[in-house]
Structure 1
Amino acid sequence: MGNYILYHQQQQGWGSKIIKQLAKAIRLNFPEKKGYSERNLTYMCQFARSYPLNVLQSFIDTDARLSVPTIQNVTNEVLKLNDKQFTQELTAQIQSTVCQPLEITQEVPAQFQDVEKTVSAIYRMGIREIEKVFLTSPVSKINWASQMAILDSSLPLGISYWYMKQSVEMGWSSNVLKIQIETNLYSRQISNNKVNNFTATLPAPQSDLANYLLKDPYIFDLAGTKEKADERDIEEQLVKHVTRYLLEMGNGFAFVARQKHFQVGNSDFYADLILYSIPLHAYIVVELKATPFKPEYAGQLNFYINVVDDKLRGENDNKTIGLLLCKGKDEVVAQYALTGYDQPIGISDYQLSKAIPENLKSALPSIEEVEEELTSFLDKDKNP
């Protein structure tokens, strides 16, 4: 539909009002059809303009090269898409097909009274070829609401492609996709430097996959948590909202246990959280610290990895991985702290997001209003 409108804007000189006329014509002639509002038709044009044939084909080619994703090759492919020049015009694409360009002289409402004629007209413009490539590309795998979220974000082409792929693989709804874009998941998972020893302690390609799945920082929505939350408070909230927690962890993580008890010698130990990663086929031991990273934290986590390896790991499981979540870290200190450990450990920051419900936002004062009130109060205090 977007290509149909763009084509006639170029060939027939259709003006900006055509979208409004089309929306009205569809509403009058096909009242049972939904999703063809003026706003949606505008998005369809934006969609068609964003993903012409050569872009769709580049997505397909990129998809084939990323069958085993790693930080490096994902970054390379995203940058390649961002830098690539896509200059082929829509009209040139349509006219380069075996079909001849269409001459339409009827008024818009009259065109829509004959569905078969309209559809065949679109096909004669070469839309069949566009549709064929479209259905093979990753763009066709996510729903329309998610497409609008990506179009609204104005992301570079390569990063848009990455979010599409993630949305399909993770099964995100459009609302979840919006949150991931707003919290800059691409930077947290791909472009940020990560502190771990996976390359030295895990075989390839498991080390690459573990590094790819790790985020820094993690962002947990924990409304209701105290401002200065300790480890137990955070654990309580993470377990209470386990679905959202696993969503932030990534695809294929299963919850195993919280405060898992292990008796080692004559002593009792409790691991904060234990997950299982299906893509890695490995247990993940998560230790939560409500303070910035300290070198001794790595030693404690290394101990728990050894215990889980001995007590839980089966013969078909890969090496257990440790994830240390701290309230900040010095990356140089953290990297030094991992040197010498044989067990795979990743160290990431975490942030606690306390989103304000939409229905309360309007009732709360803005930052500017608070500052103005404080200034007024201080002035009165100085000049009673």
Structure 2
Amino acid sequence: MSSEITQHHEYKSWAEFISNKIKLAQTKVAFKVNAEMLTLYWEIGNSILEKQNQNGWGSKVIDLLASDLAKIFPENSGFSVRNLKYMRTFAEAYPQFPIVQVPLAQSKNEFVQVALAQITWYHHISLLAKVKDTTERAFYIAETAKNEWSRDVMLLQIQSKLYERDGKALNNFENTLPDYQSDLAKSIFKDPYNFDFLMLSRKAKEVEIENLLTQKITDFLLELGKGFAFVGRQYKVEVDDTDYKIDLLFYHTVLHAYVVIELKAGEFLPEYVSKLNFYISAIDDKLKTPTDEPTIGLLLCASKSNVKVEYTMRGLTKPLGVASYELEQLVKENIDKLNDNNEEE
């Protein structure tokens, strides 16, 4: 009887419903615990700041406090001198706790509030050490929470200067997509994309880049951002009895649209856009369903002239963006390290 129940569709749906309820409850508990811990740490850090300002106590008071707390809480290592200093820095950085308020993009009069409890204390420690600008930190807090990044992944995104690249790809979305899609599409595409994880020189051929991107699809998806689902490489579409192959095809689960990506190993040329426009039309005709939004194209070149890109995109009716990508920085760093090691030897 039990085996029959487990195979029943209604039971499977019900079991999934229960498991999702449990996961949601666990997430809420974890969020509440994290929020309470951050509140405690902020209050301790703020109290240290107040006492130092009011009484003129120097840094030695933190040493004394850490020693006393170690005696009272011998099994808790969270109140070390180092951690207490982090708490003071945390309170100093976020006087408006439990939120950080930063200007809305492109506006000096409108503000957005970002909840600090979205990420863990260990994320905050690293973020405070690596990023000094409050608006930039708020960006990484929101992106870390949205994408569920570990601390190491967040640090990689900081190292790759995601804040400076996010939403910077040249595009015609404002003229080719409805308002509700345009802003979202703009925010998704970057410039430049960082392909340093491929460990290639800038002279790499397109096919070599494609091969490694698909071999390291996890890293590539991380660089693209949340929402991209890989459909295929050299994806074949037939148009008028002729087979054409799209370099990379994705589906974006938030935009609800196919994304055609074309890779070029050299500098941007206007004719590349014509080819990408052709592929977008083919996917719209052959693959897109009535429930999908218009297909979007992304052209990635090793380098580009923004003026040439803007001229080329004038008058186009298909939504597309053009961005460059970087390959050589990590290779250069490794060569420099290798040379340094050789000199030491």
Work out which of the residue numbers 37, 46, 62 in structure 1 matches 2:80: 37
2:129 counterpart of 1:152: yes
Counterparts in 2 of 1:207 and 1:164: CA distance versus 1, 3 Å: same
Give 2:339's aligned amino acid: P
Which string of whole-angstrom CA distances, capped at 9 and with x for unpartnered residues, describes residues 39-74 of structure 1?
111111000011113x65562xx6xx9xxxxxxx52
Classify the secondary structure of the residue corresponding to 1:75: coil
- Once the 2 structures are TM-superposed, how far is the Cα of residue 174 of structure 1 from its aligned partner? 1.6
TM-score by length of 2: 0.79
- Once the 2 structures are TM-superposed, how far is the Cα of residue 177 of structure 1 from its aligned partner? 1.8
Work out which of the residue numbers 273, 277, 280 in structure 2 matches 1:298: 273
The residue number in structure 2 matching 1:15 is 58
The residue number in structure 2 matching 1:366 is 340
Classify the secondary structure of the residue corresponding to 2:214: helix
2:256 counterpart of 1:225: no
Counterparts in 2 of 1:300 and 1:363: CA distance versus 1, 3 Å: closer
Classify the secondary structure of the residue corresponding to 1:327: strand
Counterparts in 2 of 1:269 and 1:137: CA distance versus 1, 3 Å: closer
Counterparts in 2 of 1:32 and 1:137: CA distance versus 1, 3 Å: farther
Counterparts in 2 of 1:363 and 1:204: CA distance versus 1, 3 Å: closer
Give 1:29's aligned amino acid: I
Q: Mapping of 1:134-153 within 5 angstroms? A: 138-153=115-130
Give 1:75's aligned amino acid: Q
CA distance in 1 between partners of 2:198 and 2:70 (Å): 43
The unaligned stretches of length 5 or more in structure 2 are: 1-43
2:159 counterpart of 1:185: no
Which string of whole-angstrom CA distances, capped at 9 and with x for unpartnered residues, describes residues 268-298 of structure 1?
1111111111221111000000011101100
Give 1:327's aligned amino acid: A
Work out which of the residue numbers 107, 117, 120 in structure 2 matches 1:76: 107
- Alignment size in residue pairs: 301
Counterparts in 2 of 1:368 and 1:189: CA distance versus 1, 3 Å: farther
Give 2:225's aligned amino acid: G
Classify the secondary structure of the residue corresponding to 2:327: strand
CA distance in 2 between partners of 1:322 and 1:367 (Å): 44
Which of the two has greater strand per residue? 2
Contact 2:99–2:115 at 8 Å: present in 1 too? Answer: no
The residue number in structure 2 matching 1:319 is 294
Give 2:307's aligned amino acid: V
Counterparts in 2 of 1:44 and 1:189: CA distance versus 1, 3 Å: same
Which string of whole-angstrom CA distances, capped at 9 and with x for unpartnered residues, describes residues 175-200 of structure 1?
2222222222122115x5x4211111
The residue number in structure 2 matching 1:105 is none
Give 1:183's aligned amino acid: S
Q: Mapping of 1:115-264 within 5 angstroms? A: 138-190=115-167, 192=168, 194-225=169-200, 228-264=203-239
The residue number in structure 1 matching 2:38 is none
Counterparts in 2 of 1:179 and 1:75: CA distance versus 1, 3 Å: farther
2:240 counterpart of 1:265: yes
Classify the secondary structure of the residue corresponding to 2:59: coil
Identity among equivalent pairs (%): 40
CA distance in 1 between partners of 2:123 and 2:231 (Å): 31
Contact 1:290–1:327 at 8 Å: present in 2 too? Answer: yes
Which has the larger Rg?
A: 1
CA distance in 2 between partners of 1:230 and 1:195 (Å): 24
The residue number in structure 1 matching 2:14 is none
Counterparts in 2 of 1:366 and 1:171: CA distance versus 1, 3 Å: same
Counterparts in 2 of 1:34 and 1:314: CA distance versus 1, 3 Å: farther
The residue number in structure 1 matching 2:20 is none
**Aligned-pair Cα RMSD in Å:** 2.9
Which string of whole-angstrom CA distances, capped at 9 and with x for unpartnered residues, describes residues 75-132 of structure 1?
326x9779xxxxxxxxxxxxxxxxxxxxxxxxxxxxxxxxxxxxxxxxxxxxxxxxxx
Which string of whole-angstrom CA distances, capped at 9 and with x for unpartnered residues, describes residues 312-368 of structure 1?
11111100000000011111111111122211110000111563799x899733399
Counterparts in 2 of 1:357 and 1:227: CA distance versus 1, 3 Å: closer
TM-score by length of 1: 0.71
Counterparts in 2 of 1:368 and 1:76: CA distance versus 1, 3 Å: farther
More off after superposition, 160-169 vs 221-230: 221-230
The residue number in structure 2 matching 1:25 is 68
Contact 1:81–1:158 at 8 Å: present in 2 too? Answer: no
Contact 1:253–1:275 at 8 Å: present in 2 too? Answer: yes
